[in-house]
């Protein structure tokens, strides 16, 4: 039950399989993310969502299948090359540069795009200084103001509360001027208010910046509210996809999340969980 | 009555030796910071630098100004090869295994040097000016003085590069979080390679300086043992720590040697180590959450 996608696909995953030893993390996963949309990947724990993310950003190399970005096969590129093409991501367990300030963390997002060579940068001359100033201005005006983190610019990231760290990670990804922004559980562990803020930022990134967003998330309320397209993974396979409302009604999805509705099976599952 | 002049001379000599500890410590920290590998072979790589210099200067008859950069180059090349062939395949293994690889590398280097040059201590050709150096009234051995100057210059260059160069920023980012560094477009394997190359080149250079003062021998790698104390005292992942730790250990060794006798040198050094481990297990400037080996 595939619904027609608005816009052309920026990212295309074709029949990607990935195995760790005997465990098949992904088997023949295919999906598309249309330009300027929010695509959510959902599924129970261990369904392969993060593995899929890692395959798309190049941390894992799939055993088979292809990953196309703007029509170009990027399956063989390493993560830094993919980052330069415009794939930015955040991590499920926050990955920030500890010991640096918020501003330095965000500026590092642009590291790969700077053209300054070592000698310029070493002496902080000419081009290095101009680039640095332009970069700082852009980051201050567009990213820091946008994400409402002016007050913590100079703070070391390690000292920040969890919700703000997530926001800094998003800021760093935005500094990469991404074409595709991949968010791995952007609101995990957040309270209602923080979740609403983050949902608003994600929608704004899509609408004001025109960035295509691919997101793994467990918060169903948020997924159903802001996504244009939802893909459901279970046991490393795509079991359903479509508009949020369609997916919610899909019997395969209901079964993957809640069990089959068969009372006997539900009670067996509960016992299994209690035993574990 | 204290002999102030003597004390000043001992302290100067200690600081001079400490600069070489600091330099080698920086090499160690560079590798640890970037790759989280505890490189126990650093002392042996330093020794290799000394022998490479001997080979170029005495064996090929090259002048010192050519032999020194060649020895440094050899060290760098060696570091790059070791990283690519021994360390990178160990990526993802437990830190203890990688640590053992470096221990093995150290023994192999000692064996190789003994095969090539024999086990006897050798003197490096003289290349440092012999005119005595006086600071105020205090006398300082010229080799120690020039060693100090050279070490300080290299360390200063490192600190600047670390702070301002793109490679330095990439290295600090990699030290902060490898996954994040990879995802923002930093070529992490290249950072690893760069760290090993720069560190081993530095260690080889330090080996030439150390060898010019005390001669070289296959057991010269024990210098690395004091360097280990230096970096543990300073904090395994802190350049600043290597600097302070190096000067501290150099000073303490010199003082213990002069006032208690040469046999107390190591005792004093390791006494300091135990003290620091009890008071600040992560070192004076180190990051708190360093896993223990």
Q: Are residues A128 and A244 in the same domain?
A: no
How far, in Å, CA of B262 to CA of B68, rounded? 30
Q: Is residue A226 part of a domain?
A: yes
Residue in chain A lying closest to B162 (CA)? A122
Q: Is residue A136 part of a domain?
A: yes
Q: Are residues A157 and A267 in the same domain?
A: no
A141 alpha-carbon distance from chain centroid? 23
- Give the C-alpha distances (Å, rounded to integers) separating B54 from B74, B79, B94, B150: 12, 19, 37, 19
CATH number of the domain that A222 lies in? 3.40.50.300
Q: Are residues A213 and A241 in the same domain?
A: yes
CATH of B4-279, one of 1.10.1060, 1.10.287, 3.40.50, 1.10.3470: 1.10.3470
Q: Are residues A70 and A206 in the same domain?
A: yes
Interface test with A, best of B174, B185, B187, B235 (most A CBs within 10 A): B185
- Kindly state the DSSP code that residue B60 receives in the 8-state scheme: S
Select the more confidently predicted residue: A79 or B164.
Answer: A79
Answer whether B219 touches A (CB < 8 Å): no
Q: List residues bridging with B140 in a β-sheet.
A: B133
- From the CB of residue A191, how many other CB atoms can be counted at a distance below 10 Å? 9
Q: Are residues A202 and A266 in the same domain?
A: yes
Q: Is B261 helix (H, G, I), strand (E, B) or coil?
A: coil
Q: Are residues A167 and A185 in the same domain?
A: no
Interface test with B, best of A57, A77, A87, A121 (most B CBs within 10 A): A121
Q: Are residues A188 and A239 in the same domain?
A: yes
Q: Are residues A135 and A17 in the same domain?
A: no
Q: Which one, of B81, B233, B242, lies nearest residue B155 by Cα? A: B242
Cβ proximity of A32 and A12 under 8 Å: yes
Q: Are residues A109 and A75 in the same domain?
A: no
Q: Are residues A251 and A213 in the same domain?
A: yes
Q: Is residue A217 part of a domain?
A: yes
b/e string for B79-93 if b means 16 or more Cβ within 10 A? bbebbeebbeebeee
Q: Are residues A214 and A227 in the same domain?
A: yes
Of A83, A91, A95, the CB nearest to B185: A83
Cβ proximity of B74 and B52 under 8 Å: yes
How far, in Å, CA of A225 to CA of A32, rounded? 20
Domain boundary, last residue among A126, A150, A175: A175
Q: Dump pLDDT digits (tens) for A188-234.
A: 888 889 999 999 999 999 998 899 999 999 888 899 999 999 999 98
What are the tokens at B150?
A: 């050279």
Straight-line distance from the first to the last Cα atom of chain A, in angstroms, rounded to the nearest whole number: 36
Residue in chain A lying closest to B289 (CA)? A98
Cβ proximity of A232 and A245 under 8 Å: no
Q: Is the Cα dihedral B185, B188, B189, B194 positive or negative?
A: positive
Question: Domain of A255?
Answer: 1-86+178-276
Chain A positions touching B170 (Cβ under 8 A) are 111
User: Which pLDDT score, from 0 to 100, does residue A110 have?
Assistant: 82
Domain boundary, last residue among A175, A202, A218: A175
Q: List residues bridging with A156 in a β-sheet.
A: A101
A28 alpha-carbon distance from chain centroid? 20
Chain A positions touching B187 (Cβ under 8 A) are 78, 80
- Give the C-alpha distances (Å, rounded to integers) separating A91 from A53, A96, B126, B177: 9, 9, 56, 11
Cβ proximity of A167 and A198 under 8 Å: yes
- Count of structural domains within chain A: 2
* pTM (whole model) above 0.80: yes
How far, in Å, CA of B205 to CA of B199, rounded? 10
Domain ranges, ordered by start, for chain B: 4-279
How far, in Å, CA of A79 to CA of A176, rounded? 13
Q: Are residues A18 and A102 in the same domain?
A: no
A63 alpha-carbon distance from chain centroid? 22
- Kindly state the DSSP code that residue B129 receives in the 8-state scheme: -
Would you call B184 and A121 a contact, using CB atoms and an 8 Å cutoff?
A: no
User: Over its length of 293 residues, how does chain B's per-residue pLDDT go in tens digits?
Assistant: 568 889 999 999 999 999 999 999 999 999 999 998 999 999 999 999 999 999 999 988 899 889 999 999 999 999 999 999 999 999 888 889 999 999 999 999 999 999 999 989 998 888 878 788 888 888 888 888 999 999 999 999 999 888 878 888 899 999 888 889 999 989 999 999 999 999 999 999 999 999 999 899 999 988 999 999 999 999 998 899 999 999 999 999 999 999 998 889 889 999 999 999 999 888 888 876 544 44
Kindly report the length of chain B.
293
């Amino acid at each position: 039950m595939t619904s027609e996608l608005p816009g052309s696909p920026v990212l295309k995953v074709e029949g990607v399989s990935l195995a760790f030893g005997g465990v098949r993390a992904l088997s023949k996963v295919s999906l598309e993310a249309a330009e300027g949309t929010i695509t959510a990947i959902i599924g129970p724990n261990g369904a392969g969502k993060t593995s899929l993310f890692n395959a798309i950003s190049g941390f894992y190399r799939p055993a088979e299948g292809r990953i196309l970005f703007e029509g170009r096969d990027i399956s063989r590129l390493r993560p830094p090359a993919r980052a330069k093409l415009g794939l930015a991501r955040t991590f499920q367990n926050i990955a920030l540069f500890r010991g640096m300030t918020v501003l330095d963390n965000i500026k590092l997002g642009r590291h790969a795009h700077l053209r300054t060579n070592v000698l310029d940068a070493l002496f902080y001359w000419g081009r290095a200084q101009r680039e640095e100033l332009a970069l700082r201005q852009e980051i201050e005006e567009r990213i820091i103001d946008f994400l409402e983190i002016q007050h913590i610019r100079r703070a070391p990231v390690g000292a920040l509360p969890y919700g703000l760290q997530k926001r800094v990670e998003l800021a760093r990804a935005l500094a990469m001027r991404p074409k595709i922004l991949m968010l791995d559980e952007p609101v995990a562990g957040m309270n209602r208010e923080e979740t609403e803020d983050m949902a608003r930022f994600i929608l704004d990134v899509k609408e004001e910046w025109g960035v295509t967003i691919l997101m793994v998330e467990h918060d169903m309320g948020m997924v159903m509210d802001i996504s244009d397209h939802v893909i459901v993974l279970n046991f490393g396979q795509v079991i359903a996809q479509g508009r949020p409302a369609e997916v919610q009604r899909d019997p395969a999805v209901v079964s993957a999340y809640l069990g089959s509705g068969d009372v006997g099976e539900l009670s067996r599952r509960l016992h299994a969980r209690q035993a574990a | 009555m204290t002999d102030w002049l003597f004390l000043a001379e001992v302290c100067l000599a200690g600081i001079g030796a400490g600069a070489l500890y600091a330099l080698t410590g920086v090499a160690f920290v560079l590798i640890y910071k970037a790759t989280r590998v505890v490189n126990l072979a650093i002392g042996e790589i330093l020794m290799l630098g000394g022998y490479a210099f001997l080979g170029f200067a005495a064996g090929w008859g090259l002048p010192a100004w050519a032999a020194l950069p060649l020895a440094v180059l050899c060290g760098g090349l060696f570091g790059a090869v070791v990283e690519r062939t021994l360390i990178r395949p160990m990526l993802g293994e437990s830190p203890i295994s990688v640590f053992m690889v470096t221990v093995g590398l150290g023994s192999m280097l000692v064996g190789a040097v003994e095969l090539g040059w024999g086990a006897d201590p050798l003197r490096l050709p003289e290349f440092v000016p012999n005119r005595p150096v006086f600071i105020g009234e205090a006398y300082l051995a010229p080799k120690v003085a020039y060693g100090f100057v050279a070490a300080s210059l290299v360390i200063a260059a490192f600190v600047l590069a670390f702070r301002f160069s793109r490679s330095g920023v990439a290295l600090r980012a990699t030290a902060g979080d490898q996954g994040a560094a990879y995802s923002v477009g930093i070529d992490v394997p290249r950072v690893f390679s760069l760290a090993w190359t720069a560190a081993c080149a530095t260690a080889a250079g330090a080996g030439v300086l150390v060898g010019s003062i005390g001669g070289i021998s296959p057991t010269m790698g024990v210098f690395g043992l004091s360097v280990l104390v230096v970096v543990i005292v300073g904090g395994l992942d802190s350049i600043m720590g290597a600097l302070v730790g190096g000067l501290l250990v150099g000073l303490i060794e010199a003082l213990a040697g002069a006032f208690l006798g040469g046999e107390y040198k190591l005792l004093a050094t390791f006494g300091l180590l135990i003290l620091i481990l009890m008071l600040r297990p992560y070192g004076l400037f180190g990051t708190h959450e360093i896993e223990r080996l």
